[in-house]
């Protein structure tokens, strides 16, 4: 198939591009050109700003079978893309949204759950949902072949967000890991499981549908840290930080401290591949990459109070 990926140089979009190329598809990407492409096999690399109508003309005359939109975060990111892309043979426009669109809840959120502002996610979830609404409106108005995916936390090799690697760094250097003292539970999805679902959506009867995607395993923060410690075979030193602390959780911890669980019953009913990589297996694969690449250096600019919270 002839495929366009909006994105292509970071974590999810890069892994998707490489997988599709390996399977023999003709893959092009559209990026701002700020990051290098460190893999081979692309048919085209279109460079431009998706918020610039003139730049979108670069892809408007090209006939694609499938478009994956991995890089849209606000409606501004699609207002020129959707009207101008060539729909002659377009079978699917697969948009990567997020489970952060749902209202705050401790229950499993299904695709029918309320979507609204969630203070845990702020504008991120609201902006993604606004894109969904725009795409759904286009689907009902013109039959635009959109399919929307809402994943939970994505992890795995080459994750550019300093999350699982943060814990690996601290545990392997025998440092204390501060975590919120809460009973919140969260779900994760391993990158290759997500890519498998994306590829299945290209062929499935899913136009106009929205799918939650995640591994059904739900874990606490303590379980997450202990799992990583077990995988790297180094004991974890954990300090639980009570909510009375004046320091915001995101100033010392790489995740938002809220329950984040999605129902995947709809995904199952459409016979999409059920994520099968459990946390232990996924972390082991991620740690293998972490070691082979020479302990990659990442940072999180929000996490500036780790030492302060440990001093409490």
Report the greatest alpha carbon distance in the chain: 62
pLDDT for the residue numbered 246: 82
Phi, psi of 213 (to 5 degrees): -135, 125
Burial of 10 (0-12, 13-18, 19+ CB in 10 A): middle
Using the CB atoms, write b or e for 77-89: b if 16+ within 10 Å: bbbbbbeebebee
Q: Is 279 exposed, middle or buried (0-12, 13-18, 19+ CB in 10 A)?
A: buried
For residue 243, what are the β-bridge partners?
none
- What string of DSSP letters covers 7-46? B-SSHHHHHHHHHHHHTT-EEEEEE-S-S---S---SEEE
Phi, psi of 84 (to 5 degrees): -105, -15
Report pLDDT digits (tens) over 258-287.
Answer: 999 999 999 999 999 999 999 999 999 999
Percent of the chain predicted with pLDDT > 90? 95
Q: Give the separation between CA 262 and CA 276, rounded to whole angstroms.
A: 15
At 69, list the tokens.
């939109």
For residue 111, the SS3 value is coil
Pull the structure tokens for residue 238.
């954990």
Per the confidence metrics, is the pTM higher than 0.85? yes
pLDDT digits over 193-243, tens only?
999 999 999 998 999 999 999 999 999 999 999 999 999 999 999 999 998
> Can you tell me the mean pLDDT for 57-64?
93
Q: Rounded to whole angstroms, how far apart are CA atoms 281 and 277?
A: 6
Give the CA distances from residue 4 to residues 17, 49, 83, 159, 201, in Å, rounded to whole numbers and listed in that order: 9, 15, 16, 22, 15
Residue 177 DSSP label: E
DSSP designation for 69? E
Q: What pLDDT, in 10s, does the model give residues 229-240?
A: 999 999 999 999
For residues 191-219, one letter each, b for 16 or more C-beta atoms within 10 angstroms of the residue's C-beta and e for the rest, the string is: bbbbbbbbbebbebebeebbbbbbbbbbb
**Helix, strand, coil percent values for the chain (each to nearest 5):** 35, 20, 45
């Amino acid at each position: 198939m002839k495929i366009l990926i909006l994105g292509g140089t970071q974590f999810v979009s890069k892994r998707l591009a490489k997988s599709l190329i390996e399977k023999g598809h003709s893959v092009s990407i559209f990026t701002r050109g700020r990051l290098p492409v460190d893999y081979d096999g692309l048919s085209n690399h279109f460079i431009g700003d998706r918020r610039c109508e003139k730049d979108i003309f670069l892809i408007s005359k090209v006939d694609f079978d499938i478009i994956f939109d991995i890089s849209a975060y606000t409606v501004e990111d699609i207002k020129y893309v959707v009207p101008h892309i060539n729909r002659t043979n377009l079978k699917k426009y697969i948009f990567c949204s997020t489970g952060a669109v749902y209202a705050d809840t401790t229950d499993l959120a299904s695709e029918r759950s309320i979507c609204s502002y969630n203070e845990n996610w702020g504008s991120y979830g609201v902006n993604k949902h606004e894109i969904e609404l725009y795409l759904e409106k286009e689907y009902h108005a013109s039959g635009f072949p959109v399919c929307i995916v809402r994943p939970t936390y994505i992890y795995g090799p080459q994750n550019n967000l300093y999350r699982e690697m943060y814990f690996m760094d601290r545990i392997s250097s025998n440092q204390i890991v501060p975590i919120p003292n809460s009973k919140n539970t969260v779900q994760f999805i391993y990158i290759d499981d997500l890519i498998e679902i994306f590829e299945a959506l290209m062929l499935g009867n899913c136009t106009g549908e929205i799918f939650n995607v995640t591994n059904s395993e739900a874990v606490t923060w303590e379980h997450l840290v202990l799992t990583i410690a077990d995988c790297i075979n180094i004991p974890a030193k954990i300090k639980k930080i009570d909510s009375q602390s004046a320091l915001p959780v995101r100033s010392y911890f790489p995740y938002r401290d809220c329950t984040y669980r999605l129902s995947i019953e709809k995904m199952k009913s459409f016979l999409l591949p059920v994520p099968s990589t459990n946390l232990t297996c996924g972390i082991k694969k991620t740690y293998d990459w972490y070691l082979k690449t020479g302990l990659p250096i990442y940072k999180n600019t929000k996490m500036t109070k780790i030492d302060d919270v440990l001093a409490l």
